Amino acid sequence: MNPLTSSAFASIRSRAVSLFTCLLGTSFALQAQPAAPPAPAADFTPIFNGRDLSGWGGALYAFQVKDGAITCKPDDGGTIYTRKRYSDFVVQFEFKLPPGAAAGLAIRYPGSGHPAYVGMCQIQLVDEASPPVDLTDP
């Protein structure tokens, strides 16, 4: 008698296929659910109120608040910064870029001078899935 064709093996194989199908279905169901954002820590201090740009300075004319998010107006840009200074901090944020776009999160901007050249650090945010936007002068 071939053990691979026995009724006991067929039963095990059937249960394994059912379990695999169930797990596969669960996997797809879990992937379809967007992840809930983590709850902020008890001592977390938000720097954006979700309504307007109160407490911010810089090129405010180039930005707007839309659906609770700071968005750059079309064909505009610039640097905005919090008017309040922070010393030790942890930054937590979400961002969305259009295809090929590049942006940045500047930290330690002193509040005066050209933000690209004064004492600060910029964390690049780049859409790597699309061809880059050419920002060089011809």
* Segment 59-117, tens digit of pLDDT: 899 999 999 989 888 888 888 888 888 888 888 888 888 787 778 888 888 777 776 67
**What is the pTM assigned to this prediction?**
0.59
Domain ranges of the chain: 1-33, 56-126
The residue behind tokens 């930005």 is 63
Three-state secondary structure call for residue 71: strand
Distances (CA, A) of 49 to 17, 56, 70, 134: 51, 11, 10, 34
